[in-house]
Structure 1
């Protein structure tokens, strides 16, 4: 993930201020939203919904404090051959499969039924993930990155988010055509190899990818990059950041597992964007219920219900509030609106590609890549390959949108 220098005046999370900054009004608002939201959701939609809102808040804090971005990790590897971010992603996936596979094989977790995010692997996934990959580099972030940086005060990412939503709802109009293209049926490593066999296969793949990044990094740079020094230590670092990337990986794996336990399925982000866009379309006179995507029982129910009844939506809301709190704790919540025109154009194009691509590919970097691979889904691996190819193109296109001296400052991860 990256934060644009034109959208924030705060210091890098890798060089925090030595003194603890005051929490400020944004932090107090975020705390109030998280507490009141949990209570209200619990009263009107059930305790599980309230708990998932808090899990979303914890995800926002973790993503922000660890600056855990998928976009910048892929960009830095493509452009510079630095693979530390990718290696930490392999740690994230390894922890996730170790947690997920036994529960998915059993079909229950703490007595509740659970199922993974396993989807067909076909041309729609390839094309959608490729679009998403290009959009990551132009929009300045992935799905989780867009939410946590927007919540953290990055004004430009609000533009990306708006067009992410628009792209998502447009994709639902064409969704039935994309799903009609040639495709393999859903394939699960858990069902194919069993829980422990699937874990072994997965860990071997992750180790191979991590090893490849080591070889590439040493050949291109001579030595492996070290983690940057942080001036804060102990509880102060935990509370205000910045966190080591590995802390972020552990937190995200555990919180995704908590989502599986509470919601009965893994963490996702972008289905909510399509829902918000569809409700917006309804408000201006369109009838999304006539589109095939919204005629499946689950989607039809989501469209007719309140967004606060939708698990993905309330977790997204919690994530934004959590990131806002984390930015305030770090003393970095400082939005700015002086965004270069080309950067705005990149946010528009990137957001549309992100939204459209995520919907036709059965998810984003979270729903398809992280949660898909954590579920043992073949489509998660196919998504990763196609999205990486899209990132390669996106990195090549970035210089046209981000002029020298105005390029996004890199946030590690």
Structure 2
């Protein structure tokens, strides 16, 4: 057996990043207190929830993009099964509250959108963008917050694509579509039962295909130096723990804001605010003339629920990365990889807007709301991922399976 030196052991341990840990924690605390006092305690609490989401996403490496890519290429379904657990817990929590229309005596509503051409096209575009951009909506935020400079580029063009979609949003909305339908309309218990059967069927399919390819199911591997109590501070966390935590935090979002967790509408808002700062008037576009969007455009972003939660996610992921000793941004991005960031980000942003959401707003929160558009989104986003996987070798000179599963 080869001898492990003290120097080797030092390299295996996370780097000491106390200044970044304290800096990220301080930024998060200041944001919570400032927004809580200037806007409302609810908005401040939502930044805290966002920070917790960023911490969980990073430490559990809970990615949608890599889980789908690994299943498509290798037929390993551990990540997909974790997503089914995530959705099952969310449905059990959401459906009774949405059926009643109130939660803790406050009105709540789900994300239920029309089922039409725009969802099909947008989800397919988003799926391709996931594989080229290197992440989904939540993945882009938490990896960017964790110090991944490449994902900062993806995030920038995610914002650009989002605001571009608002220019001709009314054209997409004029395409054929069915009225919004939610399984909650069946009643809480029948809706839950139907959803759980579908989740179980998908999980069983992943087990069948994985065993057919490999003979056995993949077991989670935890580095020896990350076992024990230190794991909960520095990560990695168990994937299933991440699924449970994300479902509970989405439910906390519903309780605080009256609606589920969403991400990408904030990106369109940020882009429109940038255009306003540059002297343009996006308010003349029909998307920004809708009552809720017009109000958001006329206010500070600190009034916008998704914006404050997104900022919380970035700060929470930064804190998690520093705790893990991995906050080491590098600007060395290969040219083809940079091109993939630009193209992927544009597809992600544009696709999310016309499909009424992303992997969070449409897939996670949409299915948690019982919306059939969330199921349609999943099908066509997965198809887009299959195309994106085929395109990846042109942009990336790397193994098909990423070293960090959340990227």
- The counterpart of 1:216, out of the listed 185, 190, 209, is 209
Counting only pairs closer than 5 Å after superposition, residues 395-410 of structure 1 correspond to structure 2 as 395-404=389-398, 409-410=402-403
Q: Matches of 1:229 and 1:114 in 2, distance apart? A: 39
Counterpart in the other structure of 2:183: 189
Task: Give the corresponding residue for 2:339.
Answer: 345
Structure 1: state its 5+ residue gaps: 1-14
Q: Of residues 89, 92, 105 in structure 1, which corresponds to 2:86?
A: 92
Structure 2 residue runs without a partner (length 5+): 1-8
Deviations 1:87-142 (A, max 9, x none): 00000000000000000001111111100010011000000000000000000000
Residue 140 of structure 2: aligned partner: 146
| 1:109 is aligned to 2:67 | no
| Alpha-carbon spacing, 1:83–1:281, altered in 2? closer, same or farther (3 Å) | same
**CA distance in 1 between partners of 2:325 and 2:68 (Å):** 27
Matched, 1:320 2:314: yes
Q: Contact 1:172 / 1:359 at 8 angstroms: preserved in 2? A: yes
Counterpart-to-counterpart distance in 2, 1:84 and 1:279 = 40
Aligned with 1:137 (options 125, 131, 134): 131
Match of 1:7 in 2: none
Q: Name the Cα RMSD after superposition.
A: 1.5
1:26 aligns with: 20
SS in 1 for 2:193: helix
- SS for the counterpart of 1:410 is coil
Equivalent position of 2:385 in the other structure: 391
Deviation track 1:152-176 (CA, whole Å, cap 9, x = no partner) reads 0000000000000000000000111
> Deviation of residue 230 (structure 1)?
3.5
CA distance in 1, matches of 2:384, 2:281: 33
Aligned residues: 397
Aligned CA distance change for structure 1 residues 182 and 58 (closer, same or farther; 3 Å): same
Give the CA deviation at 1:17.
7.2
Aligned match of 1:305: 299
How far the C-alpha of 1:239 sits from its partner, in A, is 1.4
User: What is the deviation of 1:411?
Assistant: 2.0
Q: Answer yes or no: is the 8 Å Cα contact 1:369–1:383 preserved in 2.
A: yes
**Residues 333-370 of structure 1, C-alpha deviations (whole Å, 9 max, x = no match):** 00111110000000000000000000000000000000
Distance in 1, Cα, partners of 2:116 & 2:62: 29
Task: Mark the CA change 1:16 to 1:67 in structure 2 (over 3 Å): closer, same or farther.
Answer: farther
Residues 170-185 of structure 1 aligned to structure 2 (within 5 Å) = 170-185=164-179
State how far apart, in whole Å, the 2-side matches of 1:317 and 1:271 are. Answer: 13
1:64 to 58, 73, 93: 58
Distance in 2 (alpha carbons) for counterparts of 1:298 and 1:94: 30
Counterpart of 1:370 (choices 364, 375, 383) is 364
Cα distance in 2 for residues equivalent to 1:206 and 1:277: 36
1:55 is matched with 49
Specify which of 349, 359, 382 is matched with residue 355 of structure 1: 349
State the match for 2:5 in structure 1.
none
Among 59, 74, 89, which residue is 2:68 paired with?
74
Worse-matched range after superposition: 281-290 or 108-117:
281-290
3-state SS of 2:157 partner: helix
CA distance in 2, matches of 1:404, 1:89: 26
CA distance in 2 between counterparts of 1:268 and 1:234 reads 34
In structure 1, the residue matched to 2:3 is none
Distance in 1, Cα, partners of 2:11 & 2:234: 10
The TM-score with structure 2 as length reference comes to 0.95
Q: Secondary structure at the match of 1:350?
A: helix
SS in structure 2 of the partner of residue 173 of structure 1: coil
